[in-house]
Amino acid sequence: MKRMLSGIKPSGQLTLGNYIGALREFVKYQNDYEMIVFIANLHTLTVYQDPKELSQNLKDTIALYLACGLDPNRSTIFMQSDVMEHAQLGFILSCNTYMGELNRMTQYKDKLAKGEESMTSGFYVYPTLMASDILIYDPDFVPVGEDQKQHVELTRDVAMRFNNRYGETFKIPQPLIPKIGARIMSLSDPTKKMSKSDEQDKGCIYLLDKPEVARKKVMSAITDLVGKVQYDPINQPGIANLLVIHSALSGRSIENLVKEFEGQGYGTFKKAVADEVVKLLIDLQAKYNDILNQHILDKVLAQGAVKARVLAHQKLKLVETKIGLTID
């Protein structure tokens, strides 16, 4: 069975975009792949986090993963910081990564262009830790959004360079980008990705939003003056985004939805989208609360960390032997 790995940075509440683009896909993938899913808590430290908020975000993230259907008996689920081999391999890989490569990373260039003096060295080198997160488990596939594809490409470059220098060590992973739902846009500015860091909270639907709050956000979503429900991401990005959301949650094709709402107003269409979102939130939140009441999170993470450490330790020891850190 092929192996797939993915992680999520718990720097804020999980969003509808996270669910459609990642969490929901994990549930599907675990039926066909050996799934390794980790909470990337070390990556949150590249910018300051309030300790209490971070701890709560970690708890919410894990519980929501399980509420979405991730099964600890079929997937390895753990906290990144519980497997310290990630950080150890991350340093070794940073010594095999050029500064020019890190300088070309889009997120770094964006921050640099904004003149952010408070950018940490951890933020600068975090792509090498991300490469470690991936390569330490030899996955075949890494599901990512379009905006994260560059990180997997860097990971592949670093792995191939290491293999060329020291001999075959790492499997070269393939990025897997879902065709629909990988990039859900902001409801208040559909030209931007729906994000936990969205300054306008009304543009982002959180999985723990009260259902009626989420409904209001959908009903107030920015659209256009065209007045026709059709999939035109360039000229009607707001309507296109709502069509993607409805399609992802209802399982119906965008073409089918366009036909259904032909000649109908945006209000009617938005209500249908809101109904799908509310239905999802009610179901997810009921499961989330049940999981918290069972007090099983520590057990799930401990079991996952034990399994992950076995793989990570083996790979790190192989790497150390390859580069000469061990005594023959």
Q: How far apart are CA 324 and CA 92, in angstroms?
A: 12
Decide if 193 is catalytic. yes
Decide if 196 is catalytic. yes
Task: Specify the residue for token string 């996952």.
Answer: 304
Q: How far apart are CA 303 and CA 297, in angstroms?
A: 10
Which helix or strand (DSSP H or E) is residue 3 part of? strand 3-8
The active-site residue, picked from 9, 193, 270, 315, is: 193
Decide if 315 is catalytic. no
CB 214 within 8 A of CB 167: no
The active-site residue, picked from 149, 196, 202, 216, is: 196
- Alpha-carbon distances of 316 from 93, 129, 136, rounded to whole Å: 11, 14, 7
Q: How far apart are CA 239 and CA 54, in angstroms?
A: 34
Q: How many CA atoms lie within 13 A of 195 on its CB side?
A: 11
The active-site residue, picked from 9, 52, 59, 111, is: 111
Q: Which residues are catalytic, by number? A: 111, 193, 196
